[in-house]
Structure formats: C-alpha cells, structure tokens
C-alpha cells in the first residue's frame, strides 16, 4: 500500500509553517544538539558503525530468518517468527535493555532512564512479514530504535534519559496467518477483541493454540491484562519505510507522517442479462460489463477531482473537500465476471472498491455521492446494482507536538547526514495501516517515513539505502536526545 504526499501541506503552507518550525528549532535545537554533541564526543563518523554498518548488517541477518526457502516469510508464531524474536531480544540486550516476551508474542526491551515513575516513550514496529516480503518493512523500525539506544548505552547515557523508553517488536501487523491485523499492537492498546484468540488459520489452528505451541499460555483474562495503562505511557513513535514513491521523487530520505488514512472497502455487484455474444443486438443488451466500466471510470473521475462532484450540503463541508484533494485515493483491485467466457455477454460483474482519505467525513461524502451516482448509472443502463460496505476504519491523525519533535529530528538528520539540504521536512499521509494505528487508541502517536527505492514494498525488491538507514537511526537518536 502506498502513501500519498500532501501537496497542500508542504507548499501552500510553507510560508506559515516554516516560522513555527524555526521557532521549534530555536526552542529544542540548543538543548538537543548539546546532548548529541555530548554523545558524539570521542566517536567519529556520526556513530556510523552502529547506526549504519551494524544496523544494515542486522537488517540483512533478520531478512534471512524465514519459514520459506528462497523467499522471506514470517507469520505470527511461526518457527522463523520465534527465531526472529529471539534474535531481536539479543539485540535489545546488547543495547542495554531489560527484555521479555508477552503473552501475545510481542518482544519488549526497556530502559528505565532517570525516573522509572515517568511516563514511558514506546517505540515499535512489527517483526512479522507478508509472503515473499522485503527485509525492511517492520524490521527497519525495530532496528533503528535499537541502534539509537545502543549509541546511548555505548556512551554511558542510557541512565540519563529522563523517562523510560521501551522498544516493542510487535508479533503481528500484516495479518497473513489469521487474516486479523495488529494482533500484537492491538493487544497492547487494549483494542483486540478476546474472541480473536479463537480465530483459526487455514490449518484450523487457533491464535491461542499457535501461542501454546511456543509455550505461551494466554487466556481471555490474561489478554485483557496485556493492555497498557494509558496513564503510564507518554507517546508512541514508529519508523517505517514509506512504501510509496514520494520521498524518492522529492530526493529526500525522511518524511513526517501527518496521519494514517481511514479506509472503506465496498463490493459492487452489477447484474444484467446474460446472452449470446453473436445474436443479441447492441440496442437490446443489458450488459453488466459495460456498466461496470462506466462505474469504475466514474470512481476514477470523482476521486481525481472530488471538488467537481461533491455538493456542499450536510454530507460535505468545504474543508472536507479541500482535505480530500490532498489525500483521497480510490482503487478497483479485483473484478470477476460470470460466466467469464469470450463469446458470452456476462450475466454478472462484481468488483471491489477501496477508498482511503485522511478526512473521515470527506470519505463518507465520497461514498454517499459515489453510491447515488452509481445507482443512477445502473438505472439508466437497466442493470441491477448492489453496493455492499465490507470494511471501515477511521483515519488516525498523528500528534502535532510529537510530530514536531520528530520533524526536528528528521531535519537534523537531513542536515548532518544527507547530501540533500531541504529547508523543511516533507509531510506525508500514510495510505497504509501501521501499528501506530492500533497504538493511537492508547496514546498519542507520530511516525517517521524512510525513502525506499522505487516506492516498492511487500516485495523482495524492497530496498532502503545504507545511508537512509543511517539517517533514520540518527533521527531516532536525535529524538531521544531531546529526552535527555
């Protein structure tokens, strides 16, 4: 899934946002740079031996931990997943962290800092993968966090963090095995239904049984106890590959995530009149394929130019439409016909619609307008339409203050590592779901995106350059420096 660049955020607002950003730099820069300079003493090459060389080596090592021969696959509680968890746990200990594995298989590493009673900063991402995955999705967020903490440990400064910091390698984000995403982070956030324990995979093994196979006993009661107390948590940050082409297009290694898009999935069924391709005159046809084509083109036009379609009534405000212009993406990814033969006018066509946008009201307005226009087209073509709503998830806005701190950290990394010297850090929207989405139910969240080659992800072609791994690690280090 790809991310969408919020053009409206970076360019038209730049004159206003830059002074605010500069003010933030003035406020935090001296303190943070002082911390970083202390950390830097006696260490050459900007900690590249930990933040770059070792981090890249670890990404490669973790990328080889797979359940499959010849490609990367790690699903919830699979043998490779357990091996990966153990490896990550050893790296957590190497960074000076106290470690444990919880009853949902999440791997935790924690340092108490100066004051164990302060609220905790959580940093995380997922250790599971899709099938035939790349080695950066999920792993990059875990490894950059551990590298940054290892620099603190190497400099004897772990104890100077003013609040506890906990890295969590979540056991499941991709949902490949149980078709239920965020098993790990949703449990920590307290939003995982207890019934999930009884969901089974293709072999009939339940979540509870999969954990038991690895000597982890979980009950409905103990699942509820995995939820963190919101009062004990300060915030959550996540580093993740962008999984889209925007940062590469801009020529920059890092970007800040404004929010994670809300999503609706529809299934549209169009029923017409099945017939012989050679004998039914064109004027007498009720062809659901042609109707579906018109519906799909309507979707494309509406989502490209929502302002031309949506009316400003109860369903849509001008601000919703403005927001949609920067974030709305719509996709028909799956289509099937019956009986699907070259010499038959189909009797039925079914296709999916995936609609994503930051603004939940705007997304609702699109669905309302799209549905009514689709039904009108079907009436005009004398075919029957059924539009079913299959899935809904509201968007998540990243926390402004936490994002500003992360933005400063990214700016610092751009400035000190990258050849590119932008006067601002790009702000992007995430069209893909991340653990931060689940964690937003527990605490404020912020995300840092890292450039990936060609915007390619969920593929062995997925690639982040060594220098960009370094920049990401340095940004986390700088962020942690503001906590000293």
Closer CB to Zn ion, 77 or 129, in the complex: 129
User: Is the torsion defined by CA of 468, 474, 476, 482 positive or negative?
Assistant: negative
The verdict on 433 binding Zn ion (CB under 5 A) reads: no
Which range, of 42-50, 138-146, 200-208, 448-456, touches Zn ion by CB under 5 A?
A: 138-146
| Of residues 47-66, those binding Zn ion (CB under 5 A) | none
Closer CB to Zn ion, 146 or 385, in the complex: 146
Closer CB to Zn ion, 39 or 187, in the complex: 187
Closest approach, Cβ 472 to Zn ion, in A, equals: 14
Closer CB to Zn ion, 138 or 262, in the complex: 138
Question: How far is Cα 164 from Cα 162, in angstroms, rounded to an integer?
Answer: 7
Question: How far is Cα 352 from Cα 332, in angstroms, rounded to an integer?
Answer: 5
Which range, of 129-137, 337-345, 380-388, 469-477, touches Zn ion by CB under 5 A?
A: 129-137
Closer CB to Zn ion, 54 or 238, in the complex: 238
The verdict on 462 binding Zn ion (CB under 5 A) reads: no
Closest approach, Cβ 414 to Zn ion, in A, equals: 23
End-to-end CA distance of the chain: 36
Closer CB to Zn ion, 287 or 462, in the complex: 462
Closer CB to Zn ion, 65 or 383, in the complex: 65
Q: Which of 366, 334, 178 is nearest to 264 (CA)?
A: 366
Closer CB to Zn ion, 113 or 138, in the complex: 138
Closest approach, Cβ 242 to Zn ion, in A, equals: 11
Closer CB to Zn ion, 25 or 393, in the complex: 393
206 C-beta neighbours (distance < 10 Å), count? 15
CB-based closest residue to Zn ion: 137
Pick the binder of Zn ion from 63, 105, 134, 138 (CB under 5 A): 138
The verdict on 184 binding Zn ion (CB under 5 A) reads: no
Number of residues this chain uses to bind Zn ion (CB under 5 A): 2
Closest approach, Cβ 240 to Zn ion, in A, equals: 6
Closer CB to Zn ion, 176 or 210, in the complex: 176
Q: Residue 54 half-sphere exposure, CB side, CA atoms within 13 Å? A: 17
Closer CB to Zn ion, 138 or 244, in the complex: 138
Which range, of 26-34, 79-87, 134-142, 158-166, touches Zn ion by CB under 5 A?
A: 134-142
Closer CB to Zn ion, 189 or 387, in the complex: 189
The verdict on 242 binding Zn ion (CB under 5 A) reads: no
Closest approach, Cβ 65 to Zn ion, in A, equals: 16
Q: 302-306 — which CB contacts under 8 Å span 24+ positions? A: 302/330, 302/366, 302/369, 302/370, 302/373, 303/328, 303/329, 303/330, 303/355, 303/366, 306/362, 306/366
The verdict on 134 binding Zn ion (CB under 5 A) reads: no
Pick the binder of Zn ion from 137, 172, 424, 462 (CB under 5 A): 137
Question: How far is Cα 253 from Cα 244, in angstroms, rounded to an integer?
Answer: 12
Closest approach, Cβ 185 to Zn ion, in A, equals: 11
Which range, of 58-66, 137-145, 148-156, 340-348, touches Zn ion by CB under 5 A?
A: 137-145
Which range, of 101-109, 136-144, 294-302, 344-352, touches Zn ion by CB under 5 A?
A: 136-144
Closest approach, Cβ 243 to Zn ion, in A, equals: 7
Which range, of 133-141, 281-289, 300-308, 358-366, touches Zn ion by CB under 5 A?
A: 133-141
Closest approach, Cβ 189 to Zn ion, in A, equals: 16
The verdict on 238 binding Zn ion (CB under 5 A) reads: no
Which range, of 62-70, 131-139, 154-162, 447-455, touches Zn ion by CB under 5 A?
A: 131-139
Closest approach, Cβ 125 to Zn ion, in A, equals: 7
The verdict on 128 binding Zn ion (CB under 5 A) reads: no
Closest approach, Cβ 337 to Zn ion, in A, equals: 33
Which range, of 135-143, 293-301, 347-355, 458-466, touches Zn ion by CB under 5 A?
A: 135-143
Q: Which of 93, 263, 182 is nearest to 440 (CA)?
A: 182
Residues engaged in binding Zn ion (CB under 5 A): 137-138
């Amino acid at each position: 899934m790809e991310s969408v660049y919020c053009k409206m955020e970076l360019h038209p607002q730049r004159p206003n946002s830059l002074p605010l950003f500069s003010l933030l730099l003035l406020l935090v820069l001296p303190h943070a740079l002082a911390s970083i300079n202390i950390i830097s003493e006696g260490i050459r090459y900007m900690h590249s031996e930990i933040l770059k060389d070792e981090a890249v080596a670890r990404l490669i090592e973790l990328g080889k931990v797979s359940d499959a021969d010849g490609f990367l696959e790690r699903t919830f509680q699979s043998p490779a997943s357990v091996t990966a968890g153990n490896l990550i746990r050893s790296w957590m200990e190497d960074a000076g962290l106290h470690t444990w594995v919880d009853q949902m298989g999440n791997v935790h590493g924690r340092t108490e800092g100066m004051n164990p009673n302060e609220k905790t900063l959580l940093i995380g991402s997922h250790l599971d993968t899709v099938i035939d995955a790349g080695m950066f999705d999920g792993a990059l967020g875990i490894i950059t966090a551990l590298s940054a903490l290892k620099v603190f440990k190497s400099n004897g400064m772990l104890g100077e963090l003013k609040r506890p910091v906990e890295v969590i390698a979540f056991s499941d984000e991709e949902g490949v095995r149980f078709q239920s995403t965020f098993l790990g982070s949703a449990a920590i956030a307290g939003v995982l239904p207890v019934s999930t324990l009884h969901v089974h995979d293709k072999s009939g093994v339940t979540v509870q049984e999969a954990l038991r196979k690895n000597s982890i006993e979980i009950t409905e009661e103990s699942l509820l106890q995995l939820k963190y107390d919101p009062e004990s948590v300060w915030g959550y940050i996540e580093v993740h590959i962008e999984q889209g082409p925007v940062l590469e297009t801009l020529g920059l290694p890092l970007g800040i995530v404004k929010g994670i898009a809300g999503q609706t999935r529809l299934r549209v069924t169009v029923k017409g009149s099945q017939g012989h391709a050679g004998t039914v005159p064109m004027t007498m046809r009720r062809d659901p394929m042609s109707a579906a084509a018109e519906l799909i083109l309507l979707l494309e036009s509406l989502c490209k130019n929502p302002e031309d379609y949506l009316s400003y009534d109860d369903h849509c405000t001008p601000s919703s439409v403005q927001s949609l212009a920067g974030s709305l993406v719509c996709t028909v990814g799956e289509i099937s016909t019956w009986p699907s033969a070259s010499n038959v006018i189909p009797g039925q066509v079914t296709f999916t619609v995936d609609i994503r946008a930051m603004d939940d009201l705007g997304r609702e307005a699109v669905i309302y307008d799209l549905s009514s226009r689709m039904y009108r087209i079907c009436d005009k073509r004398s075919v029957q339409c059924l539009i079913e709503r299959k899935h809904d998830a509201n968007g998540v806005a990243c926390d402004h203050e936490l994002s500003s701190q992360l933005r400063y950290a990214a700016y610092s990394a751009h400035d000190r590592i990258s050849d590119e010297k932008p006067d601002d850090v790009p702000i992007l929207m995430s069209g893909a779901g991340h653990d931060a989405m689940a964690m937003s139910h527990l605490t404020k969240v912020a995300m840092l995106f890292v450039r990936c080659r060609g915007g390619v992800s969920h593929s062995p072609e997925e690639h982040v350059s060594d220098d960009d791994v370094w920049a990401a690690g340095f940004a986390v280090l700088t962020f942690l420096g503001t906590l000293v």
